[in-house]
Structure 1
Amino acid sequence: MNKRNIQVSLRQGNINDAEAILELQKEVLSESKFMISIIEEYQETTEQLRNWIEKILNNKREKLIVAESKGQIVGLIVFRSKSTKRLSHTGSFTAMVKKQYRNQGIGKLLIKELLNWAEHNPLVEKVSLGVLSTNQRAIELYKSMGFVEEGRKIKEVKFSDDLYVDDILMYKLV
């Protein structure tokens, strides 16, 4: 359940979710002003997504969680770890929620589930993320969940000739 009593369930994503995840990613990229990539750059195929999901499922330091409502994937969170030995205890996440399901607590549910997994995974010690400085709602959510600003990439994202946005790096030790 969430804020508006919409039935939402969380589960581990799997290869059979590739098509629905692809549609979710395209939808979010096409309308979100808070993503670094834009839809015109997104060239992923269902087969490539299946391979990506399979790699996550076969890595004990990575996780894919999907949120479902009425049998439809409405959100996801994915945690990817660093591949080098000295950074393998860390990783970062990306989360997406369909527009009509935002501001209902689904993102918070996904993050809670991810943090619970990370806290019980002896291979994960640090959970990180990047968030655009213009995404104040997300920044407040992350802070409320114990994430701390670690640094900032100044003018990292360029939206137009005279509009730049910082990428805020945040983390939480688990």
Structure 2
Amino acid sequence: MRVEPYRAPLRGGRHCVVRQSSRDDAAALLDLERAIVRARHGIVKHEDELPADADTYAEQRERAGLTARDGSAMCLAAELPGGHLVGEATLLRRFKFRMLRHVGILGLGVHPEAQGLGVGRALMERLLGLAATHRDPDGGRVRRVELYVRADNARAIALYRSFGFVHEGTRRDVVRGDGGAFVDDLIMGLLLSDDAPAAGR
């Protein structure tokens, strides 16, 4: 599937371009993930657990299915003017069984210095719009979107709730925080109705 770039308004009169990500973005996406991990908020990784270089990162994404163009993965990047990549949103239909092919797993990351501008909202609007309107050659589509979020990540939870995501369950003590305390992980889900209008453009 091909996604046309979209100029999304941000707070303060700014804007970003939301576009389809590609293998050529590997270095910028790795830098983005490193910045998010270094901020130590709402994450489940340490920096030394990330790939050491862009080529390895690109190969890891390919193995995970994030570079597919058949509708099984939808991966978007957000750029500020000047080409600085500040966010990514992914929707991966990772289940291969036909009975589960309507389920997409959502991931979202925004650079710490760009948080609060509306980048995450712009990415979510575009991604959910794609999920609502895309049809596979056999007529299949994404009907359920689910995500996992740390229970102490209030900003992200508020964003997801604003799009209609519902808290469906809790994985207790699944994350061991930097200080040793355990943190719950929330399961949130959104059902896309058959006649729902696209959430993005």
Q: TM-score, normalised by structure 2?
A: 0.80
Aligned length: 174
Equivalent in the alignment of 2:147: 129
Aligned equivalent of 2:68, options 57, 75, 83: 57
Aligned equivalent of 2:100, options 87, 99, 106: 87
Contact 2:171 2:186 in 1 (8 A): yes
Contact 1:18 1:53 in 2 (8 A): no
Structure 1 residues 133, 76: CA separation in 2 closer, same or farther (over 3 Å shift)?
same
* 2:12 aligned counterpart, secondary structure: coil
Equivalent in the alignment of 1:151: 169
Residue identity in the other structure for 2:112: K
Contact 1:14 1:53 in 2 (8 A): no
CA distance in 2, matches of 1:74, 1:108: 13
Equivalent in the alignment of 1:36: 44
Q: Percent identity?
A: 26
Structure 1 residues 97, 162: CA separation in 2 closer, same or farther (over 3 Å shift)?
closer
Contact 2:95 2:103 in 1 (8 A): no
Verify: 1:6 aligned to 2:7, yes or no.
Answer: no
Contact 1:61 1:124 in 2 (8 A): no
Contact 1:157 1:167 in 2 (8 A): yes
CA distance in 2, matches of 1:139, 1:30: 20
Encode CA deviations 1:52-78: one digit per residue, 9 max, x unaligned.
259423341211100000211111111
Verify: 1:74 aligned to 2:86, yes or no.
Answer: yes
Residue identity in the other structure for 2:56: Q
* 2:57 aligned counterpart, secondary structure: helix
Equivalent in the alignment of 1:97: 110
The unaligned stretches of length 5 or more in structure 1 are: none
After superposition, the CA RMSD in angstroms is: 1.7
Contact 2:172 2:183 in 1 (8 A): yes
Equivalent in the alignment of 2:29: 21
* 2:41 aligned counterpart, secondary structure: coil
Question: Post-superposition shift, 1:115?
Answer: 0.4
The unaligned stretches of length 5 or more in structure 2 are: 1-8, 136-140, 193-201
Question: Post-superposition shift, 1:129?
Answer: 0.6
Residue identity in the other structure for 2:90: V
